[in-house]
Amino acid sequence: MTDMTTQTPTQTRSHKPPRTEFMVYFAIIFVATLPLACLTWALAAIKSGSLTEKGPVARAWSQARIITPMIFSA
């Protein structure tokens, strides 16, 4: 009879979220943050009188880059 408790597994598993699932969540969050990013960008442009460095798409993209990993780490 073989003692199975002393044998070590030969396969190692890494705990990475599936790339497709991450991109789906990223896209949903990006689309959800885009209107608010446009609004805050427009208000900042009106208040300062000039266009800001970061446009609305860049703002929404950075927010999605911040929020999406938080979902997967929870």
pTM here is 0.67
15-63 pLDDT, tens digit per residue, is 665 688 989 999 999 999 999 999 999 998 888 877 767 889 999 999 9
Q: How many CA atoms lie within 13 A of 4 on its CB side?
A: 1
Which residues, including other chains, have CB under 8 Å from residue 40's CB and lie 6 or more apart?
56, 59
* Helical residues (DSSP H) of the chain, grouped into ranges: 19-48, 56-73
Identify the pLDDT of residue 10. Answer: 62
